[in-house]
Chain A
Amino acid sequence: MNDRITLREQLAGMAFAAPYLIGAAAFLVFPLAMSLYYSFCNYSMLQPPIWIGWTNYRHLLTDHAFHTALWNTIFYAAISVPFTLALSLFLALLLNQPTRGQGIYRTIVFLPSLVPLVASALIWQWLFNADKGLINSVLRPVLHMLGKAVLSPLAGMLGARHATIESLRHISPPVWLGDPHWAMAAIIFISFWGVGQTVVIFLAGLQDVPRELHEAAEMDGAGAIHRFFNITLPMLSPVIFFNLIMGIIGSWQIFDVPYVMTGGGPGRSTLFYSMYIFEAAFNQLRMGPACAMAWIQLLIILFLTVLAFASARKWVYYA
């Protein structure tokens, strides 16, 4: 009798799990397997795939646009992830201070992350507009004044050439989205705009740091900085670790903001990995190389995640 009930329960359990399992098989496992297969095929989506072995992967070795997209993404991830983490932690620490209007400040920091990415990209596009944008409207008089009152006389005193002195008198703000170097800087800067969610997670983590540890350390004469580095930071390390993993994954998937703001330009200076996958698949109808790139992306993210997990043993503390 017991066995029959167990079997029935098992069947019922499987029935309850079935919708998810069927969904996962149809919409996750099957597409994953097919994309792996297509990565070894010549496949335009409009004709049946043809098996070509490692050719797609081999061609990526000599694909300049792929190299550019890969390098741009590495550069973006290397700067945006640590800086976003540091900024989020800093903001979380500030917002954790008992002060009047704490809720309002927390809301203000979180609000930008509620704005859809495309909408915020359009807003930033206008803010970074070189001619009429708010950022340059503020920078222009500041730089002008700085050049005229400080840099130009300084260059004169140092015996600089007339042309240099003159050029310093007319420093103009950057053409943010039209200049290859500044365009990347602008995209990285915008990544800081959406720190709200990371800040909230840090804030939650800060609530879990035992007060008694701080009190004990304070009684032993530890200052605020000592307490931060020796109590808060180690206690927060699992949260930092979580945010680091999410940051790595997110930064490798960046798409919406540069797609709307620069379309990958100027001269591919903001072409990111996911954008190139999209371009190859849906613009150039090269689904094979696009799938190959997607699998390489998965392996890179997996490698970085494994690396983070391996290093976690040394710096993440689970109290």
Chain B
Amino acid sequence: MEAQDSSRFTRFAHRVAIALVAISAAAMYVFGDRPSTHVLPDGARIHKRIVVSYWEEWTGFEGRAMEHIVNEFNTSQHHIFINMVEVSNVNIKTLISTAGGDPPDIVTIWSGIMGQFISYNALTNLNTLLRHHVVTPHTFVPFAWKLCAPYGTLYGLPATTDPNALYWNKILFAKAGLNPDKPPTTLKQLSEMAARLTIIKPDGTIKQAGFLPMEPNWYAPDWGIYFGNHIYNFKTGYFNIDTPQQIAAYRWMQEFSKQLGYQEVDSFQSGFGQFNSPLNPFIDGQVAMELQGPFLANFINRNNPKLIGHYGVAPFPTSFGPPGAATFADCDIWVIPRGAKHVQAALQVLKFFIQQKNLEYLNDKQAKPSPLMKTSAAYIRRNPNPYIQVFDRISRNPNVQSLPPSPIWPRVNGQLTVMANRIWMGASVIDQIRHAQFLADQWVQRENHLAELRLQQELQP
């Protein structure tokens, strides 16, 4: 009887084992890796090509523009196929895939994380493009080059640029009795015009704002630039937060909050829609002047075409010189992460991407100025941004400041945003700025110490 039970049990165990193997095999078949099924734009299958994986950060019409260039490349030759994937949160995913040793061959990343990726040795050195004269330090506009090669070594190539400028609504200017063709040229004028353009309802709430430094709030840490501050010291690696220019900038910013009441402004702002929606406060006429990038033009074209011809763009005023004496810009950058499997093929792809016609096509579709120093007349004519020349001039401006190539920049930037928020809510400007400076100094010191430690360990036999 016991022997019978044992044999039954053995049979059962065998069956279960076979079932487990079968389930595993089925799972591998369904979810596992499989032979490439990539197809060309005309539906033809690719044959023995090298497949370069490419992560694109933009989706929607911006992603389509890049897809067009990718398709051009894929049909232009028979050796390499770019498999483009639109990836959200591309910074974090690139980080994880690089740390895991399986990154894509090319990624478009935001320039704000270049410092981290360069410092932590996560990017492939692209100096070979310099050696073969594919690019030189003068191929691209200075600020974009500095972001890609902050200390001389090339780690990326600029895809699109985002210089900032002042947008003003000419209709609202005229209604307020201001000359619609004359934007403010000084910060004092900007504040005065903002006051005239602001409309308060009888119940005390805001109906229309002339200018809000916290709209959009992603430029909150950068106001010091327009007062002559240079936030980063490239030589020492320290941050200049506690400076007279920075203090003046945030006092200026806080004035708006004091005049309008931060709660009233917050309440007013909470009614704004998404940046890319028709409820964008500049697009629907709730805010008369804004600091914005060139991309806003695309959303005006899409969401409120009636505004075309009734808004203007000019360099943002500064406290110490003419408009444009200082400004801020950043860009999207193509990089090859460390550990990419097809570096040589990826370099071929990048060479194609930075061809003038391709960069102009991409930036045209995104309403941005090209990162190249040389631009064609057709590109300026074709660009959907009616103020592309203004942005183009700004991006070539040698006074443009961009994001610091520091590994701790995201942390410092986070603290600066908190600082700006608290100042906006009424906290002491001096206290907040000093606190941010204290923290940033501490973090730089720690980072330097850790870098030394790492170096010592690496030098040990």
Contacts and interface: CB of A to CB of B under 8 A. Distances in A.
Contacts of A266: 266, 421, 425
Given A9-B9, A265-B421, A175 B17 contact: no
Interface string A263-307: 001111000000000010011111000000000000000000000
A19 B266 CA distance: 54
A52 interface: yes
Given A1-B2, A282-B92, A175 B266 contact: yes
A140 to B, nearest CB: 9
B297 interface: no
Contact of B98 (A46, A133, A172): A46
A132 B271 CA distance: 6
Nearest to B267: A130
A266 B120 CA distance: 31
A267 B116 CA distance: 24
Contacts of B269: 178
B439 interface: yes
A232 B414 CA distance: 51
Interface centre among B3, B16, B17, B425 (most CB of A within 10 A): B425
A286 B98 CA distance: 16
Interface string B428-461: 0000000100010010001000100110010000
B268 interface: yes
A100 to B, nearest CB: 42
Given A44-B120, A130-B270, A282 B95 contact: yes
Contacts of A44: 116, 120, 407
A208 interface: no
Nearest to A178: B266
Given A8-B10, A42-B454, A64-B439, A267 B421 contact: yes
B13 interface: yes
B125 to A, nearest CB: 15
B45 interface: no
Interface in B189-214: 203-205
Nearest to B269: A178
A97 interface: no
Interface of A is mostly: loop
A285 B266 contact: no
B79 interface: no
Interface string A170-184: 101001011110000
Interface of B: 2-3, 6, 9-10, 13, 16-17, 20, 92, 95-96, 98-99, 116-117, 120-122, 203-205, 263, 266-271, 338, 407-408, 410-411, 414-415, 418, 421-422, 425, 427, 435, 439, 442, 446, 450, 453-454, 457
A42 B98 CA distance: 18
Given A9-B9, A129-B271, A131-B271, A284 B453 contact: no
Contacts of A132: 270-271
A131 B414 contact: no
B120 A50 contact: no
B137 to A, nearest CB: 26
Contact of A129 (B270, B410, B421): B270
Interface string A23-60: 00000000000000000001011110010100000010
Contact of B95 (A15, A46, A178): A46
B453 A47 contact: no
Contacts of A99: none
A59 B98 contact: no
A207 interface: no
A284 B410 contact: yes
Contact of B418 (A19, A46, A267): A267
A52 B92 contact: no
A179 B453 CA distance: 43
Interface residues of A, number: 42
A20 interface: no
A267 B266 contact: no
Contact of B270 (A8, A16, A178, A285): A178
Contacts of B204: 170, 172
Contacts, number: 108
Given A16-B16, A64-B439, A179 B92 contact: no
A46 B421 contact: no
A16 B19 CA distance: 12
Nearest to A11: B13
B428 to A, nearest CB: 13
B454 A50 contact: yes
Nearest to B16: A16
Contacts of B439: 64
B210 to A, nearest CB: 18
Contacts of B96: 45, 282
Contacts of B450: 42, 50, 52
A131 B270 contact: yes
A174 to B, nearest CB: 8
B418 A268 contact: yes
Given A129-B271, A285-B120, 14 more contacts: A2-B2, A42-B453, A44-B407, A45-B95, A45-B96, A46-B121, A47-B121, A50-B450, A172-B204, A179-B266, A282-B92, A283-B92, A285-B95, A285-B407
A319 interface: no
Interface centre among B408, B414, B415 (most CB of A within 10 A): B414
A94 interface: no
A280 B263 CA distance: 30
B271 A284 contact: no
Contacts of A170: 203-204
A59 to B, nearest CB: 7
A12 interface: yes
The 8 A-B pairs with the shortest beta carbon distances in the complex, nearest first, are A178-B266, A131-B271, A46-B120, A45-B99, A130-B267, A130-B270, A46-B122, A175-B266
Contacts of B457: 50
A15 to B, nearest CB: 7
A134 to B, nearest CB: 13
A219 B120 CA distance: 76
A50 B92 CA distance: 22
A5 interface: yes
B121 A15 contact: no
Interface string A120-148: 00000000011111000000000000000
